[in-house]
Structure 1
Amino acid sequence: MDGSAFETRSAPAPEAETASFDLNVLIATFRRRLRLFAAVALVVVVAVMLYTLQETPRYTATAQVMLDVRTEQVTDMSAVLSGLPADSSVVDTEVEVLRSRSLAARVVKQLHLDEDPYFNPYAPGARGGRSLLPFLKKAAAPSAQVSPIEQQRRAEMVVDNVLQGLKVRRSGLTYLIVIDYTHPDAAQAAKLANAFADLYLTEQLEAKFDATKSANEWLDGRVAELRDQLQEAEAAVQQYKIANNLLSAEGATLTEQEISGLNTQLATARAEQAETDARLATARNQLARGSNGEDVGEALTSPVVQQLRKQRAEKSAEVADLAGRYGDRHPDLLKAKRELADIDSQIQAEIGRIISALEAKAQVSRQRTNSMAGSVASSRGALAGNNRASIRLGELQRKADSVRTLYETLLARFKQTSTNQGIEQADARVVSKAKIPTRPSYPKPSLNLALGMIMALGAGAVAVVLAEVLVAGLFTEDEVERRLGLPYLGSVPLLSSAAEAKISRTTSPADYLLAKPLSSFAESFRKLRAAILFSKVGEPTKVIAITSSLPGEGKTTTTFSLARTLASAGSNVVIVDCDLRQSAINRFLKAPPSVGLLEVLNGVATLDQALIDDASGAKILPLAKAAYTPRDVFGSPAMHRLLAELRSRFDLVLLDTAPLLAIADTRVLAPSADAVVMLARWKKTPVKAILSALSLLKGRGIFVAGVALTQVDLKAQSRYGYGDANYYYKSYRKYYAE
């Protein structure tokens, strides 16, 4: 035998495991778990209906608040706290504000809800508190005995209870906010919904009032501070001007005005000096060329010179007249000449005085110009000092200007906020007051029933899924091959599910086979025989070890029934009881055997003496009573000789072995068999147990032909065993005769 035969029969390829979704498998699974599904669904529906019937009626009142995007402009001045921008995030934020604990606490305070037993189980007159809080059923403790922490906890509990009935939502994408409040008392529900809406608007106004008041107080103090700072800054500027001679008039400092005047005077003095120097130089040039000074400009304009010239002209005419009448020596002529000479000397003297006056005037002009230049230089030095001092003055002036600007700005803002105080507007308005509801909103029987049905279906589906996940056994051929990776040999049905007519409880499956050889029950064993014999292609299969992982899986009944079926069909079959602990084959015998397998192996009896004939023609090699022995009999040479003899005498040798996980004998005997058939009880045998049993056979040259399911309920399998041949049992059962 091929030593790796069992190992090569691995699990199907991943493609087989990850096959496409099959709706028939889902339907079959649902049908298989229909009772569980119905039971769970029924429990859920009943629970929902009971809850609906015992639930206290509650009423929901609705108020509507709209964020107002329009604002009234009483004054053309901006508010301290600006209005809310009407965008989506702001509306969502205001919804959360309406849900806030602070607003709920204000509602509690305004409506005295801490004294309402519905919200406060510690309030006087409370009988165990709200139905939603059954665990708070202790009596209210006197307030004098309650610690501050406990008081705070109770206050927060009241707020939590109030918030439980509140539901705030935005109406679509509008600026409308819907406030729903649910309460067992319809009037109280409307009162609470309106209280949340009104206090929300009040809180907005108070926020603006507080902001304006705080702004006015701050601006008032700040304006007073800036007024003092402005006075100090301006005083510093003036003191610095005085200290540094930076006093000004008409926009310029005194030094600048002085320099301006001196510059003008200096220019005038220089012009006069240039004129005087020019006249003096001209007169000197004329005298240097031999002039007697009469042509000097100042002499020409001098009245004295003009008078003397007039006298000279007259005297010169007189001299000429006398010279013509009297001659050169006439006394009158000489007198006239002396007088003419005297006039000329006077003219020369006057011209000399004029030249001297020009020189003096030029000297004075130069001195005046020099003096004016010195004054200008001195004033410029003072101006340079003033300019250096004006840098600091500019800094002081800018500081004073900035303080003045800030002071004037805040003063104007203070006047605006003072004007706005008292005319603030809320950013929202109530568009619909809550009215007292006339019909309860909870419970809603139709809605609860619909939800109950959905929950029932979901719970039933979850239960089915969990049952399938937690199931340990195997149902169909597909599951055997997918989860075990071995061929599926067939199924052995329960006799009660395979028989069409009622049968007696005392009728055994083996007896039924003899009575009904053409029944579906007998056919299942013929199918099993064919699957086993053709499991090894090209090699004969004569010695077959039939085993299971755990006791109670129908191994002996299956082996005996298979032998009877094959013997009835003409095969020469022998059954060897290899279960030393239980010897289950003996219950099918008419009388307990006196000799058996162990006696044959020990040489006490021959094989023919130990074999027992069955009514079907099969042979049975049983185990005598108290046949257990601690010795290893299945690995002995005697056992090998016996199996060789059985091979030669019989067509098929069926070895009824012990469970693999319970007894080690089967692992010793299995290598001597041509094939090992693993039996698993339908729905019962855990897959883990089967895999553990199969792992004991690995690597020992053992050929596992496959797995067969026993005790299969054909009626149930035909309903929900999709993926198995028995699923179509109703379609082909007419071919079987009872």
Structure 2
Amino acid sequence: MNYANFPLDKRMPLPSADAEKGEDFIDIERLLGMAARQVKVVAVCAVIGLFLGVIYLQTTPKQYMSVASVLIDEGLNKVVDDISAASVTMQTDAALLSQIEIINSARLASVVVDKLKLDQNQDFMNPPQSALAKGIGFLRGVIGYFRSSSADEIPGMENVDAATREAMKKEASHDYAVLKLQNEVQAQRNGRSYVIAIGYQSPNPALATAITKAYSDAYLADQLNASFDATERAAVWLQGRLAELRESSQKASMAVETFRAEHGLSANSDGQLMSDKQLADLNAQLIVAQADTARASARYQQYKAIVDSGSDNAFNDSAIASDQPASSVITTLKTRYLTIAKRLQDVSANYGADHPQAVALAKEKADVSAQIFGELKQLTENYRNEYEVAQTRETALRQKIADAAGKSSIDNQSQVKLRDLNQQATALTTLYQTFLSRYEEASQQQSFPVGKVRIISDATMPLSAAGPRTSKVLALFLVLGVLLGAGFGGLNEFNERFFRT
């Protein structure tokens, strides 16, 4: 009878295989045989896994989830944006992620802890744990006990009085509550919408509901406070800036008036410089004076020519306008002269030129002609005086215009500097008015803060537990039991000392 040779290390040798036949590396028939021999081990481990799953479900407290939904709504503050100087449009994913980070912030968690006094709530600070968690905690305590030493204690704590120690413990408890709440609260965006779901899970459904509701209210209040604080800071900054701008504007306006007074750049109601206005008036007067001089010169030259022609031609050249002062006298004399000349002609024709009456009339005619010539000389002298006065007035006006033109040139040069100062004053005044309007808007908005968040789904009391899920737990423990049974089965096959035919 032949017996199989067994190696001394109690392990079965691998079956010889041909390198060219890859299908001989995996023996399906042998694997199925192994599975058939170890099926009981796998089944027992699966049952044990299910039993452990049932024990876990029985020893693990139920967890209740409460959820509230908030909407980032841009339409809530359109009224404020209409009067606000600066508005922020939230239309990016980064902005929504920033809102989620605000919800997960320690500041918001601290507000909820203070509002609900969670640091004094044992249901929150020490919630019921499962047997598995208690076992893990016990092991951690044992390990920590052996690893702990006096060097881990804070130096100087033995010198702290009881009140300070109690305050430090209270502060540490508060910080632990804030950190615990910050890690346990859940906030996530619903799809691609502007809705953020805020949830909290706790063994106490009332506590979960209260924390979720407090978180949504705290988030809404935080948005309002942020809007109020931003508006308040803007108002305070604008108020300080307004004082500076008011002072700068007043200094600029004072500089304009001082420069105008020092250089005599006073302006009329139309904004025209007085020197320019005076120059324009003098030019207008010069034009009138030139016309008067030309008219006086023409009259003087006319009557001077009459006088220069002699007394014999005075009667023939003594035609003057009726508006002249001596027109009536000369006209009377001319009428008398013509009458005498007609009588002289009649007498000379009837009685001869030697007639005594003709001689008397000729003498009277000569006297009247001399009177007319005297009147013409007097009128010529008057016109000469008028011409000289007009000429002197024209010369004086030309001198005044030259002086005014020089002063106007200097004023125009100073006007450039004045215009620059005036532009600075105008710019500062406009900037001051703009900041004053912004300050008034910020002051109005400060008393009317409107956030961009509203609660669309308030937290409600959960009616059923969110975890642990029975089906998932049992399925997980069943899979673990099957895997453990497969491991034990493989180990049995590996350590087998028998042989089979």
- Distance in 2 between the 1:27 and 1:99 partners? 55
Which 5+ residue runs of structure 1 have no aligned equivalent? 1-15, 124-129, 472-493, 501-738
**DSSP 3-state at the match of 1:354:** helix
CA contact (8 A) 1:59 1:439 kept: yes
Map of 2:368 onto structure 1 = 343
Residue 103 of structure 1 deviates from its aligned partner by 1.0
**Counterpart position of 1:260:** 280
Whether the 8 Å contact between 2:64 and 2:208 is mirrored in structure 1 is: yes
Contact 2:80–2:450, Cα closer than 8 Å, also in 1: no
1:91 corresponding residue in structure 2: 96
**Superposed displacement of residue 59, structure 1:** 1.5
**Is 1:292 the counterpart of 2:324 in the alignment?**
no
3-state secondary structure, aligned to 2:461: coil
For the structure 1 residues 369 and 45, does the alpha-carbon distance in structure 2 shift closer, same or farther, using more than 3 Å as the test? farther
Q: Using a 3 Å threshold, how does the CA distance of structure 1 residues 32 and 495 change in structure 2: closer, same or farther?
A: closer
Query: Larger relative CO (CA 8 A, sep 6+): 1 or 2?
Result: 2
Deviations 1:55-104 (A, max 9, x none): 33221112222223432666784347746635544333322221222211
Q: Secondary structure at the match of 1:435?
A: coil
Contact 1:80 1:215 in 2 (8 A): no
Contact 2:63 2:202 in 1 (8 A): yes
* Equivalent position SS for 1:242: helix
Alignment-mate amino acid for residue 197 of structure 1: S
Equivalent residue for 2:474? 449
Alignment partner, residue 176 of structure 1: 195
In the aligned structure 2, how far is the partner of 1:454 from the partner of 1:232? 86
Q: Give the 5 Å matches for 1:703-722.
A: none
Which residue in 2 is equivalent to 1:193?
A: 212
1:64 aligns to 2:64 (yes or no): no
Q: Note closer, same or farther for the CA distance 1:435–1:215 as it changes in structure 2 (3 Å cut).
A: same
For 2:485 and 2:370, the matched residues in 1 are separated by 159
2:437 is the counterpart of 1:405: no
2:246 to 221, 227, 251: 227
Cα distance in 2 for residues equivalent to 1:30 and 1:147: 68
Q: Does 1:158 align with 2:177?
A: yes
Distance 2:83 2:330 in 1: 91
Distance 1:297 1:382, change over 3 A: farther
Q: Return closer, same or farther for 1:204/1:72 CA change in 2, 3 Å cut-off.
A: closer
Residue 419 of structure 1: which of 444, 459, 464 is its match? Answer: 444
Deviation for aligned residue 1:152: 6.7
Partner of 1:207: 226
Q: Is the 8 A contact 1:77 1:416 kept in 2?
A: no
Q: Which amino acid aligns with 2:208?
A: A
Q: Residue 441 of structure 1: SS of its match in structure 2?
A: coil
**Residue correspondence of structure 1 range 687-726 to structure 2 within 5 A:** none
- The Cα shift of 1:446 comes to 0.8
2:344 aligns with one of 299, 319, 332: 319
Check if 1:104 corresponds to 2:109: yes
Change (3 A) 1:296 1:309: closer
How many angstroms does 1:155 deviate by? 4.3
**What aligned pairs does 1:657-672 form with structure 2 within 5 A after superposition?**
none
Tell whether the 8 Å contact from 2:282 to 2:400 is kept in structure 1 after alignment: yes
- Within a 5 Å distance, the mapping from 1:389-538 to structure 2 comes to 389-452=414-477, 496=499, 500=501
Tell me if structure 2 keeps the 8 A contact 1:62–1:193. Answer: yes
Give the distance between the partners of 1:344 and 1:308, measured in 2 at CA.
8
Q: Does structure 2 conserve the Cα–Cα contact (< 8 Å) formed by 1:69 and 1:86?
A: no
Q: Give unpaired runs (5+ residues) of structure 2.
A: 1-18, 128-132, 146-156
Aligned residues: 442
| Conservation of the 8 A alpha-carbon contact between 1:65 and 1:429 | yes
Given the alignment, which residue of 121, 125, 130 partners 1:116? Answer: 121
CA-CA distance at 1:268 after TM superposition: 0.3
TM-score (norm 1): 0.52
Give the partner amino acid of 2:95. Answer: V
| TM-fit CA distance, 1:157 | 3.1
- Amino acid corresponding to residue 91 of structure 1 in structure 2: L
Cα deviation, residue 266, structure 1: 0.7
Change in 2 beyond 3 A, CA 1:303/1:400: same
Distance apart, 1:441 and its partner CA: 1.7
Q: Distance in 2 between matches of 1:173 and 1:495?
A: 65
For 2:276, give the aligned amino acid.
Answer: E
Report which of the two has the higher share of strand: 1
Higher helix share: 2
**1:63 alignment partner, SS class:** strand
Code of the residue aligned with 2:234 in structure 1: it is A
TM-superposed CA distance for 1:119, in Å, is: 5.0
CA contact (8 A) 1:119 1:161 kept: no
Tell me the equivalent position of 1:237.
256
Q: Any conservation in 1 of the 2:64–2:201 contact (CA below 8 Å)?
A: yes
Residue 130 of structure 2 corresponds to which residue in structure 1? none
Q: Offset of 1:313 from its aligned partner?
A: 0.9
Distance in 1 separating the partners of 2:163 and 2:58: 38
* Counterparts of 2:216 and 2:176, CA distance in 1: 22
Change (3 A) 1:449 1:412: same
The change in CA–CA distance for 1:240 and 1:451 in structure 2 (over 3 A counts) is farther
Deviations 1:134-169 (A, max 9, x none): 65799xx96633796x87765443222113331112
Q: Distance in 2 between matches of 1:108 and 1:181?
A: 13
Q: Secondary structure at the match of 1:178?
A: strand
**TM-score, normalising length: structure 2:** 0.74
Change (3 A) 1:458 1:166: farther
Question: Mean alpha-carbon deviation: is it higher for 337-346 or for 409-418?
Answer: 409-418
- What is the identity, as a one-letter code, of the residue corresponding to 1:385? I
Contact 1:298 1:354 in 2 (8 A): no
Asked if the contact 1:283–1:297 (Cα under 8 Å) also holds between the matched residues in 2, the reply is: no
User: Partner amino acid for 1:65?
Assistant: V
State the SS of the aligned residue for 1:366.
Answer: helix
Identity of aligned residues (%): 25
Matched, 1:273 2:278: no
Asked if the contact 1:80–1:208 (Cα under 8 Å) also holds between the matched residues in 2, the reply is: no
* Distance of 2:414 and 2:103 partners within structure 1: 64
Counterpart-to-counterpart distance in 2, 1:418 and 1:154: 41
**What per-residue deviation string (whole Å, max 9, x for no partner) do you get for residues 321-378 of structure 1?**
3323433333332222122112222222322333333333222222111111111111
State the SS of the aligned residue for 2:75.
Answer: coil
Taking a change above 3 Å as real, the CA distance of residues 495 and 194 of structure 1, as seen in their structure-2 partners, is closer
Q: What displacement does 1:120 show?
A: 4.6
CA-atom RMSD, angstroms?
4.3
Q: Residues 92 and 458 of structure 1: is their aligned pair in 2 closer, same or farther, counting only changes over 3 Å? A: farther
Assess if the C-alpha contact under 8 Å between 2:200 and 2:212 holds in 1: yes
- Tell me how far apart the structure 2 counterparts of residues 29 and 48 of structure 1 sit (CA, whole Å): 33
CA distance, structure 1, for counterparts of residue 388 and residue 353 of structure 2:
48
Cα distance in structure 2, aligned partners of 1:342 and 1:26:
175
Aligned-pair CA distance for 1:460: 10
1:406 offset after TM fit, Å? 2.1
Given residue 112 of structure 1, which amino acid in structure 2 is its aligned partner? Answer: K
Q: What amino acid does structure 2 have at the position aligned with 1:263?
A: N
1:10-39 CA deviation, whole Å, 9 max, x = no partner? xxxxxx99x9x99x9697998799779969
The answer for the alignment partner of 1:250 in structure 2 is 269
